[in-house]
A and B are shown apart, each in its own frame.
Chain A
Amino acid sequence: MAGPTSPIEFRLDPASGVPTYLQLVHQIEHALRLGYLKPGDQLPKVRDAVASLAINPNTVLKAYRELETKGLASGRPGQGTFITATLNQVALPELAGLRRLLLSWLTAADAAGLDDDGIVALVTSSLRDFRDNSGGSGAAGTTKKGVA
C-alpha cells in the first residue's frame, strides 16, 4: 500500500452504541477542532477506510455526505473527499491558555465535592444558559447539530 494520503486514521468503538457513520463524523470534527485536519487535507479514501475497519463502504460514504451537508468537506470526482472548512476557531496558544483556566476551575469544582458526572452536568447546563442568553456565536449552530 502507498503512503498515507490522509493525516488521520479512523478507529471504531464497538461498545459505544454510536452508529458507525456518526463515529467517523465525530472523529473528523474532533480532528478539525484540535487542528489535526486543515482545509485542503484529504480524508481517508473510502477503500482504505473500508479495508482497515472492515466496514460497509456505504457507511463511509454516508459519513462523508454528512460532512458535505455540514459544509465541512467536499468530494472531488476521481480524487477523494477533502476538508473545505474549519472548526478550529481558536489558535493553538490560546487553546493552551483556555485549557489552563479550565484545569484550575476543575480543581475548584473537585475541591467543592463535585464528581465527574456533576461537573459534566454543570458545564452542560451553564453552556446552555450561556447560549440562550447571548444568542451564541457561530459555533453554537454546529455544536447543536453535532449533538442532535
Chain B
Amino acid sequence: MNVIEASGLGKRYGGTWAVRECALAIPAGHVAALVGPNGAGKTTLLNLAVGLAAPTAGIVTVLGGCSAGSPAALDGIAFVAQNTPLYKNLSAADMVHLTRNLNRRFDQGYAQDRLGELGIPLNRKAGHLSGGQQAQLALTLALARRPRLLVLDEPMAMLDPLARHDFMATVMTAVADDGVSVLLSSHVLAELERVADYLILMSAGRVQVAGEVDDLLACHRVLTGPAAEAGEYAERSCVVHARSGGALAHLLVRTSGPTDPVPPGWDAHPVSLEELSLAYLRAPGAAALPGPARIRNAERAEVAK
C-alpha cells in the first residue's frame, strides 16, 4: 500500500506554480523525509496530501487510494502544521477535550499518559507552555487520534536541540509501537538523517529525487581522479554534480549499484545523504526517480553484458 500517491499533481497560486508535474508513490511503513530549500513547494505538497488545498492539476490519493480530504482519508491521517497550531488561550486539558470531541477516534488514555510522562501541566494555557512543550502537546494530540499516517510540516524548526531530540523520540516510539507511517518536511537534512529511511527531494516545485535511503546511497558514489579525464567520463555515465580543480576532480555519479566497476586511476567513496542531497539541489536538471532510474539502470546492465 502507498500512503501517498500523486500523478501529474500541480498547484498554482496566481501565476506561480508552487508544485508542478509531481509524481510520487510513498510506500507504507516508512519514515519519509521531504527535503528542499525554502520555497521549494514542500508545504504546498503536504497541504495537497492532507486535503487542505485542492490541486490545480493532476490527482493525489492517500492510504491506498482514498482521495485526499475525503472522510476516510481524514480519519487515517494526522497532520501537525508549521508552528505548532494550538489554541493558545485554551489549557492543555481543554485542547485534549476539544480534540477528543472533534474526532471520531481519540485515545484519551494515551494522551493523558503521554502528557503525564512529559510533565506538561494540564491546567496551563497552551500559549504559556514552552516551545518544546507546545510541540509535544500538538504531537500527542495528533498521535492520540491513532493515525495510520502522521504528517509533520517543519516540526522542529522552532525547537532547541534537546526538545528536538525528545520530539523525534516520541515520533519514533510511535513508529515502533504502532507502525505508523510518517512524512515530515524540513529544510535541514542533518536533523532527519538518523530517522528517515525514505527521501523525497524537492526543488522549485518539482520532485527531484524519491526513493529508499539505502537504495539511494548504494547507487551513488563520489569518484575522485584526474580532472583531465573528467569530461570524458561524464560523457558516458550519469554524473549528478562535478567539482573540479586544475588537476583533481570530484564527480558524484549515479551507478547501477555498489559493484559497478571503478575506472582505473580513480578512487570511489561512499556518499552521505547530505552530500547526495546537496549535489542534486545544486543540479536542478538532474533527477533520480524510481521509474526512469530503474529503466536506465536496466539498460546499462544490458550494455555491460
Contacts and interface: CB of A to CB of B under 8 A. Distances in A.
B172 A51 contact: yes
Contacts of A54: 165-166, 168-169, 172, 194-195
Nearest to A52: B169
Interface stretch (B6-14, B89-97, B173-181): B173-181
Interface in B254-305: 272
B21 interface: no
B176 A50 contact: yes
Contacts of B31: 56, 58
Q: Tell me whether chain A's interface is mostly helix, strand or loop, or mixed.
A: helix
B177 A47 contact: yes
B197 A50 contact: no
B196 interface: yes
Nearest to B165: A54
A66 to B, nearest CB: 13
B194 A56 contact: yes
Given A57-B175, A57-B176, A50 B169 contact: yes
A55 B165 CA distance: 9
Contacts of A3: none
Contacts of B196: 56
Which of B31, B168, B176 counts the most A-chain CB atoms under 10 A from its CB?
B176
Q: Tell me whether chain B's interface is mostly helix, strand or loop, or mixed.
A: helix
Contacts of A98: none
A61 B231 CA distance: 42
A47 B172 CA distance: 9
Interface in A42-65: 46-47, 50-59
Contacts of A78: none
Interface in A80-137: none
Nearest to A17: B272
Which of A20, A51, A58 counts the most B-chain CB atoms under 10 A from its CB?
A58
Interface size class of A (residues with CB under 8 A): 10 to 19
Interface string B112-128: 00000000000000000
A77 interface: no
Interface string A1-17: 00000000000101001
A50 B196 CA distance: 13
Contact of B197 (A17, A52, A58): A58
Contacts of A51: 169, 172-173, 176
A46 B173 CA distance: 9
Contacts of A55: 172, 194-195
B177 A14 contact: no
B175 A56 contact: yes
B195 A56 contact: yes
A63 to B, nearest CB: 13
Interface in B162-203: 165-166, 168-169, 172-173, 175-177, 194-197
A111 B234 CA distance: 50
Nearest to A45: B176
Nearest to B169: A54
A85 B173 CA distance: 29
B173 A47 contact: yes
A127 B175 CA distance: 44
B207 to A, nearest CB: 22
Contacts of B195: 54-56
B269 to A, nearest CB: 10
B278 to A, nearest CB: 15
Given A20-B194, A47-B176, A54-B165, 5 more contacts: A17-B272, A52-B169, A54-B172, A55-B195, A56-B194
Interface of B: 31, 165-166, 168-169, 172-173, 175-177, 194-197, 272
18 contacts: A17-B272, A47-B177, A50-B172, A51-B172, A53-B169, A54-B165, A54-B166, A54-B168, A54-B169, A55-B172, A56-B172, A56-B175, A56-B194, A56-B196, A56-B197, A58-B197, A59-B194, A59-B197
